[in-house]
Amino acid sequence: MKNSKTESQPKNFPPISYSEYLGTEKLLSLQNSRSREFGAEAHEEMLFIIVHQTYELWFRQILHELDSILGLFKTDLVREEDMGTAVGRLSRIVEIQRLLVDQVSVLETMTPLDFLDFRNMLYPASGFQSVQWRLIENKLGLKASSRLKYNSQPYTASVKPTEATVMTKSETEVSLFDAVDAWLARTPFLATPEFDFKKHYGEAVRIMLDDDRDSVLRFAKSDEDREKNLKQIEETKSVFESLFNEDRYKELQDKGTFRLQHKSIQAALFISLYRDQPAFNLPFQLLTRLQDIDELMTTWRYRHAMMAHRMLGTKIGTGGSSGHSYLKAATESHRIFGDFFNLATFLIPRSSLPKLPTSISKKLGFQYFS
């Protein structure tokens, strides 16, 4: 009989050293200074190269995580046991992004004069040509129509043809936005014989706005204030109604206010309002991590834009773009998960939240029986 202890031991693998495993010899040979090559070595160029190479390494890790999450969400049924994995990997992306933002501070230890020592040797190289960053944007769900033109050309025009092919292909694949949209649209419990979310939530909103109206009528200090506040309440009512009026919602989609499917935005709101239900805890965390990712991408772009302004003033970038002006404009136009930020518009106080029937609470909770 075989010894079970022996069977559980790992196989014998050939020994490997730290440097061999990490390929440090090759890795540390990749900091090739252009200024040294042209006989006018600039001390600060090493920092510039290492920071940007580090960015690309972290981009690779983000893509590794994104591909795994997409693999979990591209199915018609996302297994509950995979939700924790997805949230954990999204959280890792968030922490990596925090490092990316912090690295801008390291780069800013280089002064504008330091940069000018080697800047002219970099044309037409630009961070805009980072294929991995573009893949991250596309895999997350940035629409091609939302992209700013780069030197009046598509973003693929500034890279090699083989790189452009990879970037264009990623535009046609299912993005994380698409996958999460489809997942939300399958959310149960929005309408059951015991509970109709649209009806009960709508009634709670009506009561809340009626209370606001009564307060305005009672406490407004002037006719002008009264009319102004009453008009604002009517506008708020119209926004709330759009959430359950499909035609009105379609109008907002056409204007670019929302991207999610009509049922998906309702499901996301349902999850956000009833986040304390055990079954909705991980879905709510997932929606929160997506907002974190979008916010940190915006923060990174803004920090990059401010750094470019600090280094270049109003000069054009090495890739020929309008420098910091282009980067700053991209902070808003390249947002992806704005729908989840807009959900805050539709939140109501917990005290006004319709109570779920016991039958649904049991399905959303953890039930233990002896």
What distance in Å separates the CA atoms of residue 222 and residue 227, rounded to the nearest whole number? Answer: 9
Q: Model pTM?
A: 0.89
Say what the pLDDT of residue 370 is: 45
Q: Residue 99 has which token pair?
A: 């490092």
Is 40-194+249-364 a CATH 1.20.58.480 domain?
Answer: yes
Give the residue ranges of the chain where pLDDT is below 50. Answer: 320, 370
Integer angstrom CA distances of residue 333 from 53, 164, 217, 337: 26, 21, 40, 12
279, 189 in Cβ contact below 8 A? no
Residue 300: CB atoms within 10 Å: 20
Say what the pLDDT of residue 57 is: 98
Maximum C-alpha span of the chain: 94
Integer angstrom CA distances of residue 284 from 38, 84, 115, 141, 268: 54, 11, 44, 19, 8
DSSP state of 191: B
Q: Half-sphere exposure of 120 toward its Cβ, with a 13 Å CA cutoff?
A: 6
Say what the pLDDT of residue 182 is: 96
**Identity (one letter) of the amino acid at 158?**
S
Q: Which residue from 35, 33, 42 is spatially nearest to 113, judged by alpha carbons? A: 42
CA trace torsion 186, 190, 192, 195 (10° rounding): 160
Integer angstrom CA distances of residue 64 from 43, 58, 79: 33, 10, 20
Write down the residue that tokens 């264009």 correspond to: 168
Say what the pLDDT of residue 59 is: 98
What distance in Å separates the CA atoms of residue 360 and residue 356, rounded to the nearest whole number? Answer: 6
